[in-house]
């Protein structure tokens, strides 16, 4: 019954990720996810918020194939899937350049191809000039950007983010949010972004999904009406604050349930 397949359902709507009634039960009987219906279209940036331990990250693990759904159908309509982990997960013995080249290297691309892709990705995240730096010589924000660049070399159609900026300070986080939005505007991938910051969720996405505590279920979904090259100033508007309030409210209710 459990299927994670690169489905051949690339129709005009270009649904990149399609979860239908996905459930995940661990061998010890813990139900991590239950009855999750979720789609991500191309050009959509979907953010998932929920209390810790609600199975948010599990969604990504199923989407990427790291884990299999125990029930329901989880299909992903592309094999170009980028995955940005909670930690930068850089290899400490490789400099920025060869860390960014890693994924292309694992796909046996030629050196010239790898170089070109890495250069482009490094430019895109603004790390030009730091190619020869080792991860230990970089700040947390720069490490995260290296990790982002590494995923960009895959030219992903579906981009999965597992609380990538959770460990960063507020200023770096806001800065990287803006950078990510620019990448999104330029590349038009489908994004699925996990976070526990409601404000970050509203700011980044076209749709915010609220999950309940374990077992994780989707309790509510909000469309974010703000236009898409997003003005950082909207964070200080009343509409923005109202939406953040609504999402927070749903989050609290789902948590209590």
Partner 1 sequence: MSNDTEQAPAEAQAPAAELAAEVPTTEVVEHELSPDTAAPVPLRRRRSRGYATWGPPLAVAALIIGLWYFVGAVILDPSKSYLLPPPHDVIATYFDPNLGPEMFEALWNSAVVALTGLAIAIVLGVVWAIAMNQAKWIERSLYPYAVILQTIPILALVPLIGFWFGFDFTARVIVAVLIALFPMVSNTLFGLQSVDAGQRELFTLQRANRWTVLKKLQFPAALPAIFAGMRISAGLAVVGAIVGDFFFQRGTPGIGALISKYQARLNADPLFASIILASLFGVVVFWFFGWLGKRVVGKWYDFA
Give the whole-angstrom CA distance, residue 191 versus residue 208: 12
Angle between helices 140-152 and 170-187 (to 10 degrees): 20
Give the whole-angstrom CA distance, residue 24 versus residue 45: 24
Closest contact distance (angstroms) between CB of 241 and partner 1 is 18
Q: Indicate whether 87 belongs to the interface with partner 1 (CB under 8 A).
A: yes
Q: Indicate whether 237 belongs to the interface with partner 1 (CB under 8 A).
A: no
**Which of 59, 62, 142, 158 is close enough to bind partner 1 by CB under 8 A?**
142
User: Distances in Å between the alpha carbon of 77 and those of 16, 43, 47, 170?
Assistant: 5, 14, 19, 35
From residue 158 to residue 197, the character string flagging contacts with partner 1 as x (rule: CB under 8 A) and all else as - is -----------------x---x--xx-xx-----------
Written as one string, the DSSP assignment of 86-142 is SS----TTS-HHHHHHHHHHHTT--HHHHHHHHHHHHHHTT-TT-TT--GGGS-HHH
Interacting residues with partner 1 between 9 and 38 (CB under 8 A)? none
**Which of 30, 52, 68, 232 is close enough to bind partner 1 by CB under 8 A?**
232
Q: Indicate whether 225 belongs to the interface with partner 1 (CB under 8 A).
A: no
| Radius of gyration for the chain, computed over Cα atoms and rounded to the nearest angstrom | 18
**Which of 50, 55, 72, 135 is close enough to bind partner 1 by CB under 8 A?**
135
14 sits in which H/E element? none
Q: Indicate whether 201 belongs to the interface with partner 1 (CB under 8 A).
A: no
Closest contact distance (angstroms) between CB of 101 and partner 1 is 11
Closest contact distance (angstroms) between CB of 256 and partner 1 is 32
Q: Are 71 and 2 in contact (CB under 8 A)?
A: yes
**Which of 39, 64, 109, 248 is close enough to bind partner 1 by CB under 8 A?**
64
Work out the end-to-end distance of the chain between its first and last CA atoms, rounded to an integer number of angstroms: 29
**Which of 126, 169, 252, 253 is close enough to bind partner 1 by CB under 8 A?**
126
**Which of 9, 68, 110, 137 is close enough to bind partner 1 by CB under 8 A?**
137
Nearer to partner 1, 26 or 93 (CB): 93
**Which of 36, 124, 144, 148 is close enough to bind partner 1 by CB under 8 A?**
124
Closest contact distance (angstroms) between CB of 77 and partner 1 is 17
Q: Indicate whether 226 belongs to the interface with partner 1 (CB under 8 A).
A: no
Give the whole-angstrom CA distance, residue 141 versus residue 195: 16
User: Distances in Å between the alpha carbon of 24 and those of 81, 85, 209, 213?
Assistant: 21, 20, 18, 14
Q: Indicate whether 39 belongs to the interface with partner 1 (CB under 8 A).
A: no
Give the whole-angstrom CA distance, residue 167 versus residue 158: 23
């Amino acid at each position: 019954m459990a299927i994670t397949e690169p489905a051949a359902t690339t129709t005009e709507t270009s649904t990149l990720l399609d979860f239908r009634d996905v459930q995940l039960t661990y061998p010890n009987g813990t139900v991590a996810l239950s009855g999750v219906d979720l789609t991500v279209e191309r050009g959509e940036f979907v953010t998932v918020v929920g209390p810790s331990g609600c199975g948010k990250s599990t969604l990504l693990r199923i989407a990427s194939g790291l884990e299999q759904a125990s029930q329901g159908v989880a299909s992903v309509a592309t094999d170009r899937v980028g995955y940005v982990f909670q930690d930068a997960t850089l290899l400490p013995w490789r400099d920025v350049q060869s860390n960014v080249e890693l994924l292309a290297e694992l796909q046996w691309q030629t050196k010239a191809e790898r170089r070109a892709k890495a250069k482009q990705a490094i430019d895109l995240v603004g790390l030009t000039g730091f190619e020869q730096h080792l991860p230990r010589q970089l700040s947390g924000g720069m490490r995260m950007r290296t990790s982002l660049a590494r995923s960009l070399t895959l030219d992903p159609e579906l981009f999965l983010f597992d609380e990538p900026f959770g460990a960063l300070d507020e200023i770096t986080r806001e800065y990287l949010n803006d950078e990510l939005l620019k990448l999104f505007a330029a590349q038009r991938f489908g994004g699925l972004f996990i976070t526990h910051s409601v404000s970050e969720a509203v700011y980044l996405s076209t749709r915010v999904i609220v999950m309940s505590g374990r077992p994780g279920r989707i309790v509510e979904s909000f469309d974010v009406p703000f236009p898409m090259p997003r003005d950082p100033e909207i964070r200080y508007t009343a509409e923005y604050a109202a939406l953040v309030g609504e999402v927070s409210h749903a989050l609290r209710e789902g948590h209590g349930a």
